[in-house]
Structure 1
Amino acid sequence: MKANIRSRVRRRDFISMWDEFVGDVRYYEVKGTHRSLISPPYLVGFWQVFSRVLEDRGLVDRHGALRSASRIAMAERKMSEAVPKIQIPAASFPTHNSPRIWFLTSALSPLAVRLTKLLLAHGDYVAAGLPPAEIEDEDRSAEFKELINECKSGRKDREGWKDRIRGIRCDGRVMGQCGAAVAEAVEVFGRIDILLCCTSEAVVGTVEELSTSSATQNLVRDQFEIIFFSQVNYIKATLPILRKRHNGHIIILTGITGHIGTPGMAMYSAATWAIEGYCDSLAYEIAPFNIKLTIVQPNKEIPVLTNKITFAPQLPQYDSANNPAPGLRDILTNVLNSNPDTKISPSDQKGKNGKEAIISRYPRLPSEAKDRLVLETVHALTAIGGHENPPARHIVGYEGVASVKEKLKTVSEELEDFVEVSCAVDIFKSDVGTAALTGPKVDMVGGGSAVGGGVHLGQPGSS
């Protein structure tokens, strides 16, 4: 009991600081006659990031308790000194007899750059997809260009890297360009073993906000073009090559938005569910050709904070002052405003005709923050990519696992509550219907094993 009380006190202390950082994100859930202060599932990942920021700044200790003024002053003095770099543990790779050839649909994100470094250091080959709009953005492409310079530097620990990476300009929304990019990768490296679909972009806005004008409706189309159609184009271009070789692995990097809807990001969630539904069916179709398919679901802050964020104009009815539920718009806006180069000023929010403008930004985080943000996901990808029996779906990190378990628990409980109504429509009675009414509850999460702090379920037809 005492531990729970301390936990609530620390959480309330956190929330007072969280309010200063992102505005009002308090969310109340009525439980009987009591009100408990909680974070909704879609804020779990951002809560973890914010907690780490506080700890890194020396404002809290490792247990989450607020420090005294004197200890904060001491921490600030320490922060002024040189901060040692994060020690990243060695990545793990599945056993294989020869180097693998990876094709990354978008190689410019912080996650893709760090993954590429690990793959090259391991001896693998990388065909790096370069979206034209992103490669022309100097800030967005800076890390990738720095990586290319490292490959050409002649450093002993980078020996051979320049021969094992190929940048290929390609707009995934154009099927012809995808086919040409895949053909170029095969021409250079001889084959493709692993296709990693890692293209992402987040459109922030409620369903109503995204239907107010033709411009916002185009944002909906763009969201599906980026997350769904562009990656489908790469899959269709690669499948004949993998099927001919009777071997291959397709990895789709999405997020737990494939399980949990997020207020203010309905179209992002919808596009994620679309690509996951497509891949769930595709997995059964390609299984006879020994082609594996894995959906990797990190917390939503990983794909959101490492790719472009576009804000639709906000309606006053959904402003945080009028809507008590915490919104990701405020959180993401404050993250962007923490950097002067990405700050959203009042003048940016006003369009030429006086109406609210559509705003797009690439978040700029410190290098150490990027490392910490994507580390779990990068290591999950290296451990799963090319595995002999990879999972069909892998959830990265304990926060994502907890959120998905809670969602599945709710679905299971609702199913049990209405199972009699569901079975009442059956015209013909059968043993299956009887089992549904009287049989044991199905463990919707169990049966998988853990890799990299996540949970995964097996491939179609695997035991």
Structure 2
Amino acid sequence: MTRTWFITGTSSGFGRLLTEQLLDRGDRVAATLRTPEALDGLRAEHGDRLWVARMDVTDTGEVQRVVDRAFADLGSIDVVVNNAGFGVFSAVEEATDEQIRAVVDTNLLGSIHVVRAVLPHLRAQGHGRILQVSTAGGQTTYPNFSYYHASKWGIEGFCETVAQEIAPFGIGLTILQPGATPTGFGGALASGPVMPEYDDGPAGDVRRSLADGSFVLVNSPEKITGAMIDLIDSGEVPLRLPLGSDTYHHVRRSLVARLEEHDAGREVALSVVRDDLVPSE
């Protein structure tokens, strides 16, 4: 079955790989990115099966215009992939205000802008899938990534809510959680001047492990994008899909620890219920 996909952030990484794989198998792709000329080679090879537009997800008006034009030109879009991302790699005091704003504007607000722009079209056509690219860091945490985590935990909460609201319209939403993968994303991480106060602790340990290669990027980017395609082909609509051995193990460990801590607070939680009400289990 031939499908039409709308993908953000297609200049490199998962967005570029996914675009290439979909075109190779005969699907149509509406690819958006800030530098459209980066896809000139693919356009020459695949012709009108590749629709390209410049779009910065932090520009709300541009997002709306590009989404509207994509649906007008292509007629129907089956899958929307919210992939564009930005990362800040620094301890909490090291990042600049501009870097903090950029990561939130891109990963959280930018993804929200895209979802809000596509939903009227998906509702009108009565079907569609949204794939939100998050990360293992949307459910667990690592030193030096506090602002990245803030944006990813935020978008996961947003998407979990939206998934409930849009299900009656025949629209499915899945949060994708890739683990550490050699896509070039790490080299594009913004950072600030290193503060010795943090370099002597967990933040410095993570920095050094990335620098010396002991932090291994264990997952295959081609297999991850292949799993995204397989998910759509399967027709299944899980709320979350872990993609990577590190994602599976790290997130599971985090969830178990959170549940244990949650259960440890049961007595206190129930003790604050109003006296005229029976505590609920």
Q: 1:240 to 1:323 in 2, by over 3 A?
A: same
Q: 1:397-412 counterparts in 2 under 5 A?
A: 397-412=244-259
Q: 1:328 to 1:372 in 2, by over 3 A?
A: same
Q: 1:262 pairs with 142, 150, 156, which one?
A: 142
Q: 1:416 pairs with 256, 263, 266, which one?
A: 263
- Aligned pair 1:112/2:7, yes or no? no
Q: What corresponds to 2:207 in structure 1? A: 329
Question: Structure 1 length normalisation: TM-score?
Answer: 0.56
The separation in 1 between residues aligned to 2:249 and 2:93, in whole angstroms, is 30
The answer to whether the 8 A contact 1:202-1:307 is kept is no
1:386 positional shift:
6.0
1:269 positional shift:
0.4
- Aligned pair 1:432/2:266, yes or no? no
- SS of alignment partner, residue 127 of structure 1: strand
Residue type of the alignment partner of 2:158: Y
Q: Which whole-Å deviations, capped at 9, do the CAs of 1:280-322 have from their partners, x for residues lacking one? A: 1111111111110000001144677367211111112122xx2
The count of aligned residue pairs is: 278
- Aligned pair 1:389/2:236, yes or no? yes
The answer to whether the 8 A contact 2:7-2:29 is kept is yes
1:428 positional shift:
4.8
CA RMSD of aligned residues (A): 2.5
The separation in 2 between residues aligned to 1:423 and 1:303, in whole angstroms, is 47
Q: What corresponds to 2:74 in structure 1? A: 189
Question: Structure 2 length normalisation: TM-score?
Answer: 0.89
State, as a whole percentage, how many aligned pairs show the same letter.
29
Q: What corresponds to 1:175 in structure 2? A: 60
1:268 positional shift:
0.4
Residue type of the alignment partner of 1:99: T
Q: Which whole-Å deviations, capped at 9, do the CAs of 1:311-334 have from their partners, x for residues lacking one? A: 111112122xx2266533334455
Residue type of the alignment partner of 2:29: V
The answer to whether the 8 A contact 2:86-2:102 is kept is no
Q: Which whole-Å deviations, capped at 9, do the CAs of 1:417-438 have from their partners, x for residues lacking one? A: 22122212223564733xxxxx
Q: 1:251 to 1:303 in 2, by over 3 A?
A: farther
Larger RCO of the pair (alpha carbons < 8 Å, separation 6+)? 2
Q: 1:282-297 counterparts in 2 under 5 A?
A: 282-297=162-177
1:380 positional shift:
1.6
Q: 1:278 to 1:228 in 2, by over 3 A?
A: same
Q: 1:246 to 1:302 in 2, by over 3 A?
A: farther
The separation in 1 between residues aligned to 2:202 and 2:75, in whole angstroms, is 56
Q: What corresponds to 1:313 in structure 2? A: 193
Q: 1:428 to 1:414 in 2, by over 3 A?
A: farther
Residue type of the alignment partner of 1:256: A
The answer to whether the 8 A contact 1:251-1:385 is kept is no
The answer to whether the 8 A contact 1:200-1:303 is kept is no
- SS of alignment partner, residue 203 of structure 1: coil
Q: 1:11-410 counterparts in 2 under 5 A?
A: 98-132=1-35, 135=36, 141=38, 144-149=39-44, 151=45, 161-210=46-95, 216-301=96-181, 305=185, 308-319=188-199, 322-323=200-201, 327-333=205-211, 373-385=220-232, 387-410=234-257
The separation in 2 between residues aligned to 1:316 and 1:397, in whole angstroms, is 33
Residue type of the alignment partner of 1:123: G
Q: 1:308 to 1:396 in 2, by over 3 A?
A: same
The separation in 2 between residues aligned to 1:275 and 1:304, in whole angstroms, is 22
The answer to whether the 8 A contact 2:8-2:84 is kept is yes
The separation in 2 between residues aligned to 1:225 and 1:386, in whole angstroms, is 32
The separation in 2 between residues aligned to 1:270 and 1:372, in whole angstroms, is 23
1:398 positional shift:
2.5
- SS of alignment partner, residue 226 of structure 1: helix
The answer to whether the 8 A contact 1:254-1:298 is kept is yes
The separation in 2 between residues aligned to 1:274 and 1:296, in whole angstroms, is 14
Which of structures 1 and 2 has the bigger CA Rg?
1
The answer to whether the 8 A contact 2:143-2:202 is kept is no
Q: 1:219 to 1:253 in 2, by over 3 A?
A: same
The answer to whether the 8 A contact 1:252-1:294 is kept is yes
The separation in 1 between residues aligned to 2:261 and 2:57, in whole angstroms, is 40
Q: 1:287 to 1:324 in 2, by over 3 A?
A: closer
Q: 1:268 to 1:416 in 2, by over 3 A?
A: same
The separation in 1 between residues aligned to 2:280 and 2:121, in whole angstroms, is 42
Q: Which whole-Å deviations, capped at 9, do the CAs of 1:332-364 have from their partners, x for residues lacking one? A: 4557xxxxxxxxxxxxxxxxxxxxxxxxxxxxx
- SS of alignment partner, residue 168 of structure 1: strand
The separation in 2 between residues aligned to 1:307 and 1:112, in whole angstroms, is 16
The separation in 2 between residues aligned to 1:106 and 1:324, in whole angstroms, is 31
The answer to whether the 8 A contact 1:254-1:296 is kept is yes
Gaps of 5+ in 1: 1-97, 152-160, 211-215, 336-369, 434-463
